[in-house]
C-alpha cells in the first residue's frame, strides 16, 4: 500500500476503509500507467528545443522513461514541454495548444526563458509561461542540460503518482478569469513579471 | 556615402546597372536612430558587386520632423523585400513603391509602436498584464482567408465595403502609428 | 464451397427533390466548382517540419502550391533593442541565442565587429582558436541540418548519427567553455578561456573519425532513390535569381555562385588555409545537400590545419582597458582592481564610428553592424541574419511544386528561427 492519502479517514471498522483501499489501488494502477507512458508534445521554439532533441536522440534517449512516442498533435498528448522562449506573438498559440490537449495534461516549462523570460526582459517576451498556462514542473538552465530535463520528467512522474483519480477538483478544465482571457489577475501578472536580480538596475524608461 | 533622399532610386539604379559598377547584390538594409534626438535617422544600404568583389555602403538621412519615407529598391533587388518590411516594422519608415509593406515580425494589430525607435522603452509602453491581454486576444488564425491574402496584391482594388469589413474583422483595429 | 457473387447496392436512404423517400447512390460525384477553387493550408507555427515556429500559409491548386506566404515573428525576442542597453561584452551571451545551432561562430562574428570598431588587433593564438571555433560550429550546424532534413524526408537513421557527432563536439565545447550549447566563447579582444589540456588530442581524434560518419551518411543518402527523387530538381534557383534574392552561404553556392566570405573578404587569416569553396551546379535541394556535406569535409580539413599550426602565446590582447586582469592580480594589485572595476561597471568604451563585419556562418553571411556614439553601449547593433534573407526566397522557390516538396524546400533553406526573427 504505497499511496495512502493522509487526509482520508482510514479506520478498521468503517466501510470507508474498503473504499479508500479500493481507491488507492485504482489510483496506483492508473497513475503508474500514466506516469510511465507519457506522450510529450514538444513545443520547441528556441535553443532549448535543440537540447530537447539531444535528449530525444541516441545518447540520452528519453524513450527509456516511456516517452518513445512524441505527439506532434496536441490532441494526442499528455505533457506540453515548452522548450524555449515565448514571445507575445506566440502566446495565443500556446494557449490554444494547451486548450486543445485532453485531460489529464501537464506542462513542463523547460529553460529560463520559458520559466521567467530569462535574459529577454524586453517588449517582446512573455515573462514566464505561467502567465499564460499553468505549469507543473520548471526546469531551470539556459538551456538545461539533457540530464536536467530528464530530472524534470522524473519529478513529473513523482507528481503524477501522487495524484488521485477521485479528486475532482484537481483535473478541472481551467477557465479564463474574465472575457480578457487572462488566467491570473492583472496585478499578479505585473508582479511576477517585474524585473528581478541584476535587471532591477535597469529602469523601465531607460 | 550619403545620398539625398529624393535621388536614392536614381543613384541605386545607376550603381546596379552601370558597367564598371555592377553592384548586383544587396547585402543588407537597415536603419539607425541616434541617441541624440536632433540627429536625423539614417537608412543604410549595404551593396556588393559579386563580380568585382567590391562593397559600398549607402546612407540616406531622414529628418525626424519630416515624413519618414524613402523609395523602395524592391524592384532592383528582390532581397530588399523582407529587409524593408523589417525596417518598416521596427522603425516605421515607409518604403514608397514596396508591393507588400506590412509588419513582418510583430503582429499586425501591434499597438505599442515601433520597437527600435529610441522613444520606445525597452520593456514596451504597456504594462505586462496589458501586453499579455493584448497578445492573447490576437487571433492566431488571422491572415488566413483568401481575402486577407489578396490584400497585399490588390489592396487598392478592393471594394470599400470589403476593406472596411477587413478593418473591423478579425484583424481588429489597424492601429494608427504613435506620434 | 461454391462461390457466390453478391451485388452490394452502395446507396443510402434519402429524399428526392419532391420530398419522396428514395435511395441515393453512394458514388463519388465531383463537386461542382472544386477544380477552380484554391485551397488554403496553414502549416505551423507549431509544426515539426517547419524547423521551429515558422508559419506558412499555402494556397493550393489540387496539390500544387500556387502561393506560399510565410508569417514570421513568432520568435521575435528583441535582440537588437536589448543590445542597445548592454555593454559590448554583455552582448556576447545574446549572440549565442540568435543562431543557436552554431553559437561559437556567432560569438566570433560579434567580437570581430566590436574589435574592428575599436581598432583592436587580436593575438595569433586567439586567431587560430577562433578559426577552430568557427569550423566546429559549421560542422555541428550542418549536422543538425542533415538530421532534421532527413527526418522531414523520411529517414530517421541519419538523425541519430548526426546527433552522435554533435554530442562529440558538445563534449569539446563543454571542455573549453563549460557549456554545451550557449558557449559565450569570445570576449572583445580575446577569448573567455584558453583551451584545456587534452583538447587538441580530442579534437584531432574527432577530425580523424568524423569523415567515417560523413561517408556513412553519404552512403545512405546520396544514391538513395527516395532521397534523390525528393530532392533533385526541386526548388531550383538560378545564379541570377539567387543573387537578386540576396541569398548567401550554401544556398548561394549551390546555385553556382562561388562567393565565400572566407575567400573573398578574408578574416581571421582564412586566406592562409588550404580549402575549397564548394559550388553546386543546379541550385536545387539535392545540390544544397551536396554542398553542405562537402563543406563538412572542408571544415574538417581546416580544423586539421589549424591544429597543426596552433601557436603558443597569450589569447588576450595586452590592454587593461579591454581585457579583465587575472583574478589573482585584481585581488592583490590596486591598479588591476581599478581596471577590473571600471570594466565591469562601465564596460569597454568604443570610439565614435561604425563597423560592419561579415563572416561566413554555416547559414550564410552573418553580418554584425555596430554604430557607436563613444559610450560603452552601441547605438545600434544590427545582425544581418543569413537565414532570414535566405528564407525570403522561399515563396519564389515553392511556386509550382507539390506540397510535399515545400517541406523539402523549406528544410533546404536551413533556417533557425532564433535568427530569422531575432
Task: Report the pLDDT value the prediction gives residue A172, as an integer from 0 to 100.
Answer: 64
B140–chain A nearest CA distance, Å = 6
Question: Is C227 inside any structural domain?
Answer: yes
Domain boundary among C38, C71, C104: C71
Contacts of B40 (CB under 8 A, 6+ apart): B61, B62, B63, B64
Nearest Cβ partner for A124 among C77, C160, C417: C77
Put simply, whether C76 touches A (Cβ < 8 Å) is: yes
C265 contacts in chain B (CB < 8 Å)? 53, 55
Enumerate the H helices of chain A as residue ranges: 15-36, 47-56, 91-100, 112-116, 146-161, 186-192
A186 contacts in chain B (CB < 8 Å)? 127, 129-130, 133
Contacts of A194 (CB under 8 A, 6+ apart): none
DSSP C201-259: HHHHHHHHHHHHHHHHHHHHHTT-HHHHHHHTTSS---HHHHHHTT--THHHHHTT---
Test B25 with C243 for CB contact under 8 angstroms. Answer: yes
Question: Counting Cβ atoms within 10 Å, is residue A61 exposed (0-12), middle (13-18) or buried (19+)?
Answer: middle
Test C246 with B25 for CB contact under 8 angstroms. Answer: yes
Question: Is C295 inside any structural domain?
Answer: yes
Interface test with C, best of B45, B46, B85 (most C CBs within 10 A): B46
B161–chain A nearest CA distance, Å = 29
Same domain? For C102 and C51 the reply is: no
- Give first-to-last CA distance, chain A, whole Å: 59
CB B130 within 8 A of CB A186: yes
Question: Is C1 inside any structural domain?
Answer: no
Same domain? For C347 and C386 the reply is: yes
| pLDDT tens string C321-337 | 888 888 888 888 888 88
In this structure, the strands spanning C365-372 and C380-384 are: antiparallel
Question: Is C258 inside any structural domain?
Answer: yes
Beta-carbon pairs below 8 A across chains B and C: 104
A123 contacts in chain B (CB < 8 Å)? 112, 115, 120-124, 131
Q: Of C220, C222, C245, whose CA–CA distance to C232 is shortest?
A: C222
Task: Report the pLDDT value the prediction gives residue C209, as an integer from 0 to 100.
Answer: 92
**Residue A104 preceded by cis peptide, ω within 30:** yes
Same domain? For C127 and C237 the reply is: yes
Task: Report the pLDDT value the prediction gives residue B38, as an integer from 0 to 100.
Answer: 82
Interface confidence (ipTM) of the complex: 0.80
Test B141 with C42 for CB contact under 8 angstroms. Answer: yes
Nearest residue of C to residue A53 by CA position?
Answer: C163
Interface test with B, best of C81, C264, C422 (most B CBs within 10 A): C81
Question: Is C104 inside any structural domain?
Answer: yes
Number of domains in chain C: 2
Nearest Cβ partner for B105 among C40, C265, C421: C421
Contact residues, C window 28-47, toward A, CB-based 8 Å cutoff:
45-47
Q: Which chains have 3 or more CB–CB distances shorter than 8 Å to chain A?
A: B, C
Put simply, whether A168 touches C (Cβ < 8 Å) is: no
Same domain? For C102 and C48 the reply is: no
Test C160 with A123 for CB contact under 8 angstroms. Answer: no
A96 contacts in chain B (CB < 8 Å)? 140
Test A123 with B120 for CB contact under 8 angstroms. Answer: yes
Q: Which CATH number fits domain B5-105: 3.40.50.1360, 3.30.460.80, 3.40.720.10, 3.60.15.10?
A: 3.30.460.80
Same domain? For C61 and C166 the reply is: no
Same domain? For C322 and C302 the reply is: yes
C78–chain A nearest CA distance, Å = 6
- Percentages (nearest 5) of helix, strand, coil residues in chain C: 50, 15, 40
Same domain? For C94 and C23 the reply is: no
Put simply, whether C182 touches A (Cβ < 8 Å) is: yes
Same domain? For C254 and C237 the reply is: yes
Task: Report the pLDDT value the prediction gives residue A4, as an integer from 0 to 100.
Answer: 46
Question: CA C132 to CA C225: how far, in whole Å?
Answer: 36
Nearest residue of A to residue B111 by CA position?
Answer: A123
B149 contacts in chain C (CB < 8 Å)? 40, 57, 59, 67, 69
Same domain? For C42 and C110 the reply is: no
Same domain? For C19 and C91 the reply is: no
**Nearest-5° Cα angle at C365, C163 to C415:** 45
CATH number, domain containing residue C156:
1.10.645.10
CB B8 within 8 A of CB B60: yes
C417 contacts in chain A (CB < 8 Å)? 45-46
Say which range, A7-16, A114-123, C170-179, C405-414, has the weakest mean pLDDT: A7-16
| pLDDT tens string B119-133 | 888 888 888 888 888
Same domain? For C42 and C188 the reply is: no
A74 contacts in chain C (CB < 8 Å)? 46
CB A61 within 8 A of CB C167: no
Same domain? For C337 and C410 the reply is: yes
Domain around C356: 79-420
Nearest residue of B to residue C41 by CA position?
Answer: B144
Task: Report the pLDDT value the prediction gives residue B143, as an integer from 0 to 100.
Answer: 58
A179–chain B nearest CA distance, Å = 10
Q: Where are the domains of chain B?
A: 5-105
Question: CA C249 to CA C295: how far, in whole Å?
Answer: 11
Put simply, whether A58 touches C (Cβ < 8 Å) is: yes
Cell numbers standing for residue C238: 538560378
Put simply, whether A122 touches C (Cβ < 8 Å) is: yes
B22 contacts in chain C (CB < 8 Å)? none
Cell numbers standing for residue A163: 495524484
Question: Is C124 inside any structural domain?
Answer: yes
| pLDDT tens string A47-66 | 888 888 888 887 888 888 88
Decide which of A54 and A199 is more confident.
A54
Put simply, whether A44 touches C (Cβ < 8 Å) is: yes
Question: Is C59 inside any structural domain?
Answer: yes
Test C164 with A59 for CB contact under 8 angstroms. Answer: yes
**Residue A162 preceded by cis peptide, ω within 30:** no
Helix/strand number for chain B, H first, E second: 5, 6
Domain boundary among C71, C103, C118: C71
C45 contacts in chain A (CB < 8 Å)? 90, 93
Interface test with B, best of A74, A92, A126 (most B CBs within 10 A): A92
Nearest Cβ partner for A123 among B107, B123, B136: B123
Q: Of B167, B179, B174, whose CA–CA distance to B125 is shortest?
A: B179
List residues in chain B touching A: CB distance below 8 A.
Answer: 106-107, 112, 115, 120-124, 127-140
Nearest residue of C to residue B140 by CA position?
Answer: C45
Domain boundary among C55, C71, C87: C71
A199 contacts in chain B (CB < 8 Å)? none
C73 contacts in chain A (CB < 8 Å)? 87, 89
Interface test with B, best of C65, C73, C386 (most B CBs within 10 A): C73
Exposure b/e, C65-99, CB count within 10 A at least 16 = b: bebbbbbbbbbbbbbbbbbbbbbbbebbbbbbbbb
| Segments in chain B below pLDDT 70 | 141-179
Nearest residue of A to residue B107 by CA position?
Answer: A89
| Rounded CA Rg of chain B | 18
List residues in chain B touching C: CB distance below 8 A.
Answer: 24-28, 30, 32-36, 44, 46, 50, 53, 55, 57, 77-83, 86, 90, 103-107, 115-116, 120, 122, 140-141, 143-146, 149
| pLDDT tens string A26-35 | 888 988 888 8
| pLDDT tens string B70-83 | 888 888 888 888 89
| Segments in chain C below pLDDT 50 | 1, 5-6, 8, 28-35
Task: Report the pLDDT value the prediction gives residue C323, as an integer from 0 to 100.
Answer: 84
Cell numbers standing for residue B54: 567590391
Contact residues, A window 99-128, toward B, CB-based 8 Å cutoff:
121-124, 126-127
Amino acid at each position: 500500500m504505497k499511496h495512502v492519502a493522509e487526509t482520508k479517514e482510514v479506520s478498521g471498522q468503517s466501510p470507508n476503509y474498503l473504499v479508500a483501499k479500493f481507491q488507492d489501488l485504482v489510483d496506483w494502477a492508473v497513475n503508474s500507467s500514466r506516469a510511465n507512458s507519457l506522450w510529450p508534445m514538444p513545443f520547441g521554439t528556441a535553443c532549448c528545443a535543440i537540447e530537447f532533441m539531444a535528449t530525444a536522440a541516441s545518447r540520452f534517449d528519453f524513450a527509456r522513461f516511456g516517452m518513445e512516442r512524441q505527439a506532434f498533435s496536441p490532441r494526442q498528448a499528455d505533457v506540453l514541454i515548452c522548450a524555449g522562449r515565448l514571445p507575445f506573438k506566440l502566446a495565443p498559440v500556446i494557449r490554444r495548444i494547451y486548450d486543445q490537449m485532453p485531460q489529464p495534461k501537464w506542462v513542463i516549462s523547460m529553460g529560463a526563458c520559458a520559466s521567467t523570460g530569462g535574459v529577454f526582459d524586453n517588449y517582446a517576451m512573455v515573462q514566464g509561461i505561467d502567465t499564460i498556462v499553468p505549469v507543473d514542473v520548471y526546469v531551470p538552465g539556459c538551456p538545461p542540460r539533457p540530464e536536467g530535463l530528464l530530472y524534470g520528467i522524473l519529478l513529473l512522474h513523482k507528481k503524477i503518482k501522487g495524484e488521485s483519480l477521485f479528486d475532482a477538483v484537481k483535473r478541472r478544465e481551467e477557465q479564463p478569469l474574465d472575457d480578457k482571457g487572462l488566467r491570473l489577475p492583472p496585478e499578479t501578472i505585473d508582479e511576477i513579471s517585474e524585473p528581478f536580480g541584476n535587471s532591477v538596475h535597469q529602469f523601465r524608461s531607460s | 556615402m550619403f545620398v539625398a533622399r529624393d535621388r536614392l532610386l536614381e543613384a541605386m539604379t545607376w550603381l546596379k546597372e552601370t558597367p564598371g559598377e555592377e553592384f548586383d547584390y544587396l547585402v543588407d538594409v537597415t536603419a539607425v536612430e541616434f541617441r541624440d534626438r536632433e540627429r536625423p535617422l539614417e537608412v543604410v544600404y549595404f551593396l556588393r558587386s559579386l563580380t568585382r568583389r567590391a562593397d559600398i555602403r549607402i546612407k540616406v538621412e531622414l529628418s525626424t520632423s519630416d515624413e519618414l519615407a524613402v523609395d523602395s529598391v524592391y524592384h532592383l533587388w528582390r532581397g530588399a523585400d523582407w529587409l524593408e518590411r523589417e525596417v518598416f516594422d521596427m522603425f516605421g519608415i515607409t518604403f514608397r513603391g514596396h508591393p507588400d509593406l506590412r509588419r513582418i515580425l510583430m503582429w499586425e494589430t501591434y499597438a505599442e509602436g515601433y520597437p527600435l525607435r529610441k522613444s520606445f522603452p525597452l520593456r514596451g509602453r504597456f504594462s505586462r498584464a496589458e501586453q499579455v491581454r493584448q497578445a492573447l486576444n490576437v487571433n492566431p488564425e488571422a491572415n488566413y482567408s483568401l481575402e486577407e491574402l489578396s490584400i497585399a496584391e490588390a489592396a487598392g482594388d478592393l471594394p470599400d465595403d470589403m476593406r472596411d469589413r477587413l478593418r473591423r474583422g478579425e484583424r481588429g483595429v489597424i492601429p494608427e502609428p504613435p506620434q | 464451397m461454391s462461390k457466390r457473387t453478391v451485388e452490394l447496392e452502395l446507396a443510402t436512404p434519402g429524399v428526392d427533390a419532391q420530398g419522396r423517400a428514395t435511395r441515393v447512390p453512394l458514388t463519388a460525384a465531383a463537386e461542382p466548382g472544386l477544380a477552380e477553387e484554391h485551397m488554403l493550408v496553414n502549416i505551423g507555427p507549431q509544426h515539426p517540419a517547419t524547423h521551429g515556429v515558422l508559419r506558412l500559409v499555402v494556397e493550393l491548386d489540387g496539390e500544387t502550391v500556387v502561393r506560399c506566404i510565410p508569417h514570421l515573428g513568432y520568435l521575435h525576442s528583441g535582440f537588437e533593442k536589448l543590445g542597445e542597453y548592454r555593454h559590448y561584452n554583455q552582448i556576447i551571451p545574446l549572440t549565442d541565442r540568435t543562431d543557436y545551432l552554431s553559437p561559437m561562430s556567432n560569438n566570433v562574428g560579434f567580437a570581430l565587429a566590436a574589435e574592428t570598431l575599436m581598432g583592436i588587433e587580436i593575438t595569433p593564438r586567439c586567431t587560430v582558436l577562433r578559426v577552430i571555433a568557427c569550423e566546429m560550429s559549421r560542422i555541428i550546424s550542418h549536422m543538425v541540418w542533415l538530421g532534421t532534413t532527413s527526418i522531414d524526408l523520411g529517414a530517421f537513421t541519419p538523425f541519430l548519427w548526426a546527433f552522435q557527432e554533435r554530442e562529440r563536439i558538445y563534449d569539446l565545447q563543454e571542455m573549453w567553455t563549460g557549456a554545451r550549447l550557449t558557449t559565450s566563447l569570445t570576449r572583445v579582444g580575446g577569448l573567455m578561456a584558453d583551451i584545456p589540456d587534452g583538447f587538441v588530442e580530442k579534437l584531432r581524434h574527432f577530425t580523424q573519425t568524423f569523415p567515417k560518419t560523413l561517408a556513412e551518411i553519404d552512403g545512405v543518402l546520396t544514391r538513395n532513390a527516395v532521397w534523390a527523387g525528393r530532392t533533385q530538381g526541386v526548388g531550383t534557383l538560378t545564379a541570377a535569381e539567387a543573387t537578386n534574392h540576396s541569398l548567401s552561404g550554401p544556398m548561394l553556392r549551390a546555385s553556382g555562385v562561388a562567393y565565400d566570405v572566407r575567400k573573398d573578404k578574408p578574416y581571421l587569416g582564412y586566406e592562409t588555409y588550404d580549402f575549397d569553396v564548394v559550388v553546386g551546379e543546379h541550385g536545387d535541394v539535392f545540390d544544397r545537400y551536396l554542398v553542405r556535406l562537402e563543406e563538412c569535409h572542408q571544415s574538417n580539413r581546416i580544423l586539421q590545419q589549424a591544429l597543426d599550426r596552433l601557436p603558443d602565446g597569450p589569447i588576450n590582447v595586452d590592454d587593461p582597458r579591454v581585457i579583465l586582469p587575472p583574478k589573482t592580480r585584481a585581488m592583490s594589485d590596486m591598479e588591476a582592481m581599478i581596471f577590473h572595476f571600471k570594466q565591469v561597471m562601465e564596460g569597454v568604451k568604443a570610439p565614435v564610428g561604425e563597423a560592419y563585419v561579415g563572416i561566413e556562418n554555416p547559414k550564410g553571411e552573418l553580418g554584425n553592424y555596430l554604430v557607436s556614439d563613444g559610450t560603452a553601449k552601441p547605438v545600434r547593433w544590427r545582425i544581418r541574419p543569413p537565414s532570414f534573407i535566405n528564407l525570403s526566397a522561399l515563396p519564389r522557390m515553392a511556386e509550382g511544386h507539390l506540397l510535399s516538396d515545400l517541406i523539402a524546400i523549406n528544410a533546404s533553406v536551413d533556417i533557425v528561427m532564433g535568427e530569422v526573427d531575432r
